Chains A and B, each alone.
Chain A
Amino acid sequence: MARAVSVQRRTFTTVAAWAIGFLIFFPILWMVLTSFKTELDAFSTPPKFLFFDWTLENFGIVQERSNYLKFAGNSIILSLGSTLLGLLLAVPAAWAMAFAPGKRTKDLLMWMLSTKMMPPVGALIPIYLIFQHLGLLDSRVGLIIVLSLLNLPIIVWMLFTYFKEIPGEILEASRMDGATLWREIVYVLTPMAVPGIASTLLLNFILAWNEAFWTLNLTTTEAAPLTAFIASYSSPEGLFWAKLSAASTMAVAPILILGWFCQRQLVRGLTFGAVK
């Protein structure tokens, strides 16, 4: 009897969860479907869900007209560059905070977090003018610096919570066995730190990819990433839904797939370790 109830309940919760999950996912699915339609089908009422002439032409047209690959290349360079630069600064810092904490380590971590809370509009004007002065407007170097500083607190925090979980006893044991600092780092610390560093890299790559305040305000054409590429479709004359969808699908797909891979680390990264 109890078993029958639980099967019933399980069926109900399953149906409800799938229905709601599908609804939440639907706008993305609709965007992908529309990207395979002709412009005529994209506008049709009643809307065509699956039975339309599937076509790939939109993707070609988007690339041809607005040079998708250049923007995508910028997105990759900016996201990867800023994340690597951030890691370069953050790995030693997080290592030191986790393994040789001082009296002020906690204050330092909190202070880093607080820099993240500064609204970008509070810094926009000076950064814009300084960049204008230095010729860094619309340059990849300038944006890489801004994006890495923007995400540095998150990178330090994530790494810190991962490093914290590496048991210090293992390091002591290796030291007792006579391992040098170098061997300790290469053979003991690194293998245990790599998973944490990898998920930090992934999450920050995603955050940088989707960052849309600085990328919209500091670029025009040369260094503009996909956020700006899509924004250019907001003008009224650009209302070609199938092409807009194709462009959007191409801008979102890579990061969505990456995101699905690192969703487990998302919670920790975005709550600064407050929820695990």
Chain B
Amino acid sequence: MATRQTRTLAKVAVGPSVLVLFIWMIVPLGLTLYFSVLNYNLLEPGNESYIGFLNYQYFLTDPAFFSALANTLKLVGGVLVITVVGGTLLALLLDQPIFGRGFVRLMVIAPFFVMPTVSALIWKNLLMHPVSGLFAWLAKAVGLQPIDWFTEAPLTAICLIVAWQWLPFATLILLTALQSLDQEQKEAAEMDGTPAIPFFFYIVLPHIARAVTVVILIETIFLLNVFAEIRVTTGGGDATTNIPFMVYAQALLQFDIGGASAGGIVAVILANIVAFFLVRMIGRNLEA
């Protein structure tokens, strides 16, 4: 049906998007690669020189890199566990007959729309403040010692904040997947008197498995890049600096362009490992 004329038109229509995205991807990446083999510090202009892989060597052997890598993985892992398990349970609950489900849905989805800087500061001050925060008051009310979140367990605190932001996302997507479960299958299981737990593991879980994978992969992409929450709560430090924050600090606070670029490339490689799986998942779906 598509004539040669429409083919040409289609190329013209797709062209601009492809071109700008290509430039957006290739120019910064190329420059980052180039800077990463230079000794390049903004404080010493005119002194740029080629130093090979020295930046990578410094970056990858820096103890700060390992703690940043560990923090990144802990943050991604912690948030994933909370949001996927919590989101599944919550989606199962919301899939039940509920009076006013629409309104509950609105309440559950709300945190997703709160900008990262707001949720971080509201949690840090209003809820997690060791003296006047609501959690401290609750802890004291039941006779516990209030936790000084950002001194004792800063990474856990950030994990909780980020998980709160992403729980709605997981819940909403898993709920959508649950709702497409065949009603007759459900009724048949009910008639047979299938207990809830085998029903979940043998019927529900396989049905939502793909949605779970999509949630995990998409969240991972965003969670690898958590930045604002760290910047406004702890402002770095060994306990909470992740790889994006480390690169940011090296570039815009220490002006070490070469070293930061090497870090950026490391971050790109890490993200690509995840992206590889995600692209395959979604690509397979495109054919179906």
Question: What is A's interface to B at a CB cutoff of 8 Å?
Answer: 6, 9-10, 13-14, 16-18, 20-22, 24-25, 27-28, 30-31, 34, 43-47, 89-90, 92-93, 95-97, 99-100, 102, 106, 108-110, 112-130, 149, 152-153, 156, 168, 172, 206, 209-210, 212-213, 216-217, 226-228, 230-231, 233-234, 239, 241, 244-245, 248, 251-252, 255-256, 258-260, 263, 266-267, 270-276
In the complex, per-residue mask of B247-288: 1 if CB is within 8 Å of any chain A CB, else 0: 110011000010011011101101110110011011101110
Show the binding face of B for A, using Cβ within 8 Å.
1-2, 6-7, 9-14, 16-18, 20-21, 24-25, 27-29, 31-32, 35, 90, 93-94, 96-101, 103-119, 121-123, 125-127, 131-132, 134, 137, 141, 164, 167-169, 172-173, 176-177, 210-211, 214, 218, 221, 224-225, 227-228, 231-233, 235, 243-244, 247-248, 251-252, 257, 260-261, 263-265, 267-268, 270-272, 274-275, 278-279, 281-283, 285-287
> Is A251 a contact partner of B118 (Cβ separation < 8 A)?
yes
CA distance A269 to B112 in the complex (A): 14
Tell me the nearest residue of chain B to A155, going by C-beta.
B17
- Kindly report which residue of chain A lies nearest to residue B281, judged by CB atoms: A274
Sample of 20 more A-B contacts, CB < 8 Å, known A206-B113, A210-B115: A21-B105, A25-B110, A27-B123, A89-B20, A92-B13, A114-B275, A114-B279, A117-B278, A149-B24, A153-B21, A209-B115, A213-B228, A227-B117, A234-B121, A241-B125, A241-B126, A251-B118, A263-B105, A274-B282, A274-B285
Given A13-B98, A234-B233, A276-B176 in contact, is the A252-B114 Cβ separation under 8 Å? yes
A123-B32 contact in complex given A110-B282, A118-B25, A263-B172, C-beta closer than 8 Å:
yes
Shortest distance from the beta carbon of A253 to any chain B beta carbon, whole Å: 10
Alpha-carbon separation in the docked complex, A129 to B270 (Å): 24
Question: What are 29 A-B interface contacts by the 8 Å CB criterion?
Answer: A17-B96, A17-B101, A24-B167, A27-B119, A45-B132, A114-B279, A115-B25, A117-B272, A122-B267, A129-B257, A152-B21, A153-B21, A206-B113, A209-B115, A210-B116, A213-B228, A230-B115, A230-B232, A234-B232, A244-B122, A244-B125, A248-B118, A248-B121, A248-B122, A251-B118, A252-B118, A256-B113, A263-B105, A263-B106
